[in-house]
Amino acid sequence: MVKICVLRLGHRKIRDQRITTHVFLAARALGAIEGVLCGEKDLPIVKTVESVGRQWGGDFKVKYEKNWKRFLKSRKKQGWKVVHLTMYGEDFSKKTKEMDKGNWVVVVGSGKVPFELYKMVDCNLAVTNQPHSEVAALAMFLDRVFKGRELGLEFGGRIKIVPDKCGKVVVRGKNH
Amino acid sequence: MVKICVLRLGHRKIRDQRITTHVFLAARALGAIEGVLCGEKDLPIVKTVESVGRQWGGDFKVKYEKNWKRFLKSRKKQGWKVVHLTMYGEDFSKKTKEMDKGNWVVVVGSGKVPFELYKMVDCNLAVTNQPHSEVAALAMFLDRVFKGRELGLEFGGRIKIVPDKCGKVVVRGKNH
């Protein structure tokens, strides 16, 4: 399977706390392997995502990274490609069809994104050219890249939900 | 095309302001026709979405509704069906294949959802059984229901983005 790392760019501690948390939780649930927090340092977010992982399983981790440019350059040297989700970009639905191998860093901005980023990535992709939500864009992007296979992931956590027509069935205990 | 109304349940004014805004902006961008805000009254959200519509086009509107139960009952009487997105529900990917006609209210909760809702809806559907984000869940749900056709929607607004490989190309003027 393709390896995906989600980089949240330009996080603002107070304004973005919940959106950034949703970005990382969606990344985890939808098959990304790691998250990188850039912008203002915000360890409670890292801890929240860690705590979800401890209970619900999987290996997804978030780390804080002060210098996004250095991080992206270093990943590129290691052979990763970089995609930036932006409403100004090209239609994601064509490109994601070709993203069936390799390692990708997906950059999800917050507020104004430095123009430098547009130039240093392999592609700038738009999930519609309308203003909406980076969480929505990321989720649709991952769903297309993984072709729905992410829905079958097993996380092996201590908490597991048994899908139910009309209720909450939760199994707790050792790792499932 | 299927008609979709997105109902945000149990909105909390301070805690949920940005997430609820993202719920409605994603709903608009991805082909829903209307939004309904329930929970704490929060007119700035209604205004934000209105203002996006004025500039970017389309007919999507949000209204505040104090009594969600009455609203759902009334829509059901008019022949609408109701789906609730919840991590406890059944796999959405099977059900959405059959949702190719009719009118649906999609309920997206916030915080704890009253058990009464689980019982009064036509289906409780999960977009993965992992904790993540109602914005992500809604986006993937709409993308599946509309089978990607929502990406071709034309909004005819005063502002329009021309998709670009590496830049921001914005056309402003009369309605496009």
Residue-wise pLDDT for A60-108, tens only, equals: 999 999 999 999 999 999 999 999 999 999 999 999 999 988 999 999 9
Residue type, A46: V
Residues comprising chain B, all counted:
176
- The pLDDT value recorded for residue B100 is 85
Asked whether the beta carbons of A147 and A106 are under 8 A apart, the reply is: no
Q: How many CA atoms lie within 13 A of A120 on its CB side?
A: 19
Q: How many Å lie between the alpha carbon of A47 and the closest alpha carbon of chain B?
A: 15
Q: State the DSSP H helix or E strand holding residue A106, giving kind and residue range, or none if neither.
A: strand A103-108
- The pLDDT value recorded for residue B175 is 67
What is the ipTM metric for this complex?
A: 0.97
Structural domains of chain B, ranges and CATH numbers in brackets: 3-172 (3.40.1280.10)
Q: How many Å lie between the alpha carbon of B19 and the closest alpha carbon of chain A?
A: 7
How, if at all, do strands A170-172 and A159-161 pair? antiparallel
Residue type, A171: V
Give the number of A-B residue pairs with CB atoms closer than 8 Å: 155
Q: What values do phi and psi take at A78, rounded to 5?
A: -85, 5
Contact yes or no for B28 and A132 at CB 8 A: yes
pLDDT in tens, B104-160: 999 999 988 999 999 999 999 999 999 999 999 999 999 999 999 999 999 999 999
DSSP bridge pairs for A6: A35, A106
Chain A residues closer than 8 Å to B118 by CB? 166-167
Asked whether the beta carbons of B34 and B5 are under 8 A apart, the reply is: yes
How, if at all, do strands B123-126 and B103-108 pair? unpaired
Across chain B, mean pLDDT equals 96
pLDDT in tens, A11-61: 999 999 999 999 999 999 999 999 999 999 999 999 999 999 999 999 999
Mutate to test the interface with B, among A24, A132, A162 (most CBs of B within 10 A): A132
What ranges make up the beta strands (E) of B31-158? Answer: 34-39, 61-64, 81-91, 103-108, 123-126
Tokens standing for B114? 């009253």
DSSP bridge pairs for A62: A35
Tokens standing for B85? 């997105």
